[in-house]
Structure 1
Amino acid sequence: MLRSLFTLCTLSGVILLSGCKETKSEAWYKQHPDETYAVYTQCLEDGEASDNCEFAHRAALMFAQEGQPGVKEKFEAIFQQEAEKRNAVTQ
């Protein structure tokens, strides 16, 4: 009985942990603008509030303020769209 309970707990733990997404660091997102854009836009659509979303948000802010041409405009557009959505809701 104890053995089967231990096996069940072990298998449950493995299944739960295998479903977790890998968390990337803020520094990683700041070095990968395309991945940052993809993750951040997905987070906005899903309303997710994970560490990945927070780190992608911080990197997206950096790209919108200091990014290279092309990259900067892409991230500025995201924040502009979000501001417009907030304004539409509050009016």
Structure 2
Amino acid sequence: MFKRLLTLCVVSGAVILSGCKETKSEAWYKQHPDETYNVYTQCLKEGETSDNCEFAHRAAIMFAQTGKPGIKEKFEALFQQEAAKRKAFTG
């Protein structure tokens, strides 16, 4: 009986953990603008509020404010699109 319960717990834990996404740090996102853009865009699309989304959001703000040419404009445009969606929704 105990072995069955233990086996069930181990298998259940493995299944649950296999569905988890790897969480990357805010510092990592600040060093990877393309991945930040992709993750943050996906978070906005799905309405996700995970740690990855929060860290990508913070990095996206940094890129929009101080990013290199090309990168800065890409993130500024993303924030402008989101602002326009919110305005259309509330307006």
Classify the TM-score, shorter chain: over 0.9
Amino acid at match of 2:63: F
Cα distance in 2 between the residues matched to 1:65 and 1:24: 21
Give % identity.
76
Correspondence for 2:72 = 72
Correspondence for 2:29 = 29
Q: CA deviation at 1:36?
A: 0.3
CA RMSD of aligned residues (A): 0.5
Amino acid at match of 2:12: S
Correspondence for 2:51 = 51
Amino acid at match of 1:24: K
The runs of at least 4 consecutive aligned structure 1 residues that moved more than 6 Å come to none
* Aligned pairs, number: 91
Q: When the two structures are superposed, what TM-score results if normalisation uses the length of structure 2?
A: 0.98
Q: What SS class does the counterpart of residue 40 from structure 1 fall into?
A: helix
Cα distance in 2 between the residues matched to 1:66 and 1:33: 12
Q: What SS class does the counterpart of residue 5 from structure 1 fall into?
A: helix
Cα distance in 1 between the residues matched to 2:46 and 2:87: 20
Correspondence for 2:13 = 13
Q: CA deviation at 1:18?
A: 1.2
The gaps in structure 1 that reach 5 residues or longer are none
